Amino acid sequence: MRIAVVLPERDEARTAALAEEHAVFGVVAGYHEPLTSMNAAIYAALATTAVRVVVRVLLGSEHPVTIAEEIAVFDNICGGRTIVLADAGALTDGDASAEIEILQSSLSARPVRLEGKWFPPSDDPALSVLAVTPQPAQVTVPVWLTGAAAAVAAAVGAPALASQRSSHPGGRVQPALMEACGDPAADRDEAIAWEQWGASHLVVQPAQGADLSESLSAISSVIAPEVAMPYFPRVMTDVPPPAEWPGAGAAR
């Protein structure tokens, strides 16, 4: 299971770099403020080189092709590290399904045939097809669903971010959200439960008011060895750190 961490707002550059130092799989930018999440994601991407950047987008706020163009530009900026977390907001299930399908098609690096209420009718063949430019750096940009969009996950063939364990996902890509409580042992047990349920990715929301550095230390030293390295001996995470060597750090 791969682990991502939700970044605090307005401090994405510093905290994303700190998360990368702890070797997490990804960071989630703008989770609580989707209208400004793209700016947050840019800060996170420019401060890192390896972690995946999950950017939350609010469907219905702009034309879905415009949203796809912004994501494509961002995917080139960050070198193909984008994961889209799409929220349907106040859209109906039908409109959400249609917008997600347009978003997925637009990010596929293939021409999109224009139809439906988002496109004016035209008899000109040249105006009935468009292609998003620039093309994303990735061949396929992963799209996860959250909020009201989760209701149409099966219809559009995209995984929904699970917050409660219900039926087993059956081996599919299945991201999950875990709200940490701040107790490393309890958070480890909760992460293990998600891994046993079948989650492929675990997005960790640090406990409210928790120091992110301490939360990341708990993730990298206590949680990750259990769920990302399943044969890692637990005794190595349960024992206290060794005492400082006598004279270490003394002036020479």
Q: Which of 4, 3, 11, 84 is nearest to 43 (CA)?
A: 11
The reply to whether 203 falls in a domain is yes
Q: Which two tokens stand for residue 95?
A: 């409109």
pLDDT of residue 206: 96
Contact 61, 50 (CB under 8 A): no
Please classify residue 68 by burial: count the beta carbons closer than 10 Å to its beta carbon, then call 0-12 exposed, 13-18 middle and 19+ buried. Answer: buried
* Type of residue numbered 41: A
pLDDT in tens, 79-99: 999 999 999 888 899 989 989
The reply to whether 247 falls in a domain is no
Please classify residue 160 by burial: count the beta carbons closer than 10 Å to its beta carbon, then call 0-12 exposed, 13-18 middle and 19+ buried. Answer: buried
Mean pLDDT over all residues of the chain? 88
**Is-cis flag, bond preceding 34, omega within 30?**
no
The reply to whether 64 falls in a domain is yes
Distance of CA 90 to the CA centre of its chain: 21
Does residue 251 surpass a pLDDT of 60? no
pLDDT of residue 131: 81
The reply to whether 234 falls in a domain is yes
Domain residue limits at 79: 2-238
pLDDT in tens, 135-159: 999 999 999 999 888 889 988 999 9
State how far the Cα of 198 lies from the Cα of 165, in Å rounded to an integer. Answer: 9
* Average pLDDT, integer, range 48-71: 93
CATH number at residue 97: 3.20.20.30
The reply to whether 249 falls in a domain is no
Does residue 116 surpass a pLDDT of 70? no
The reply to whether 71 falls in a domain is yes
State how far the Cα of 155 lies from the Cα of 82, in Å rounded to an integer. Answer: 23
Does residue 63 surpass a pLDDT of 90? no
* Rounded percentage of the chain residues whose pLDDT exceeds 70: 87
Number of domains in the chain: 1
Question: What count of Cα atoms within 13 Å lies in the side-chain half-sphere of residue 108?
Answer: 12
Mean pLDDT check: name the lowest of 60-64, 126-130, 201-205, 233-237.
Answer: 233-237
The reply to whether 246 falls in a domain is no
Distances (CA, A) of 8 to 86, 100, 179: 19, 27, 14
Distances (CA, A) of 56 to 7, 34, 39: 12, 5, 11
The reply to whether 119 falls in a domain is yes
Mean pLDDT check: name the lowest of 60-69, 119-128, 138-147.
Answer: 119-128
> Tokens 């994961």 appear where?
83
pLDDT of residue 172: 84
pLDDT in tens, 157-205: 999 999 999 888 877 899 999 999 999 999 999 999 999 999 999 999 9
Mean pLDDT check: name the lowest of 45-54, 125-134, 149-158.
Answer: 125-134
Does residue 239 surpass a pLDDT of 90? no
Does residue 128 surpass a pLDDT of 70? no
pLDDT of residue 248: 64
Neighbours of 188 (CB within 10 A): 21
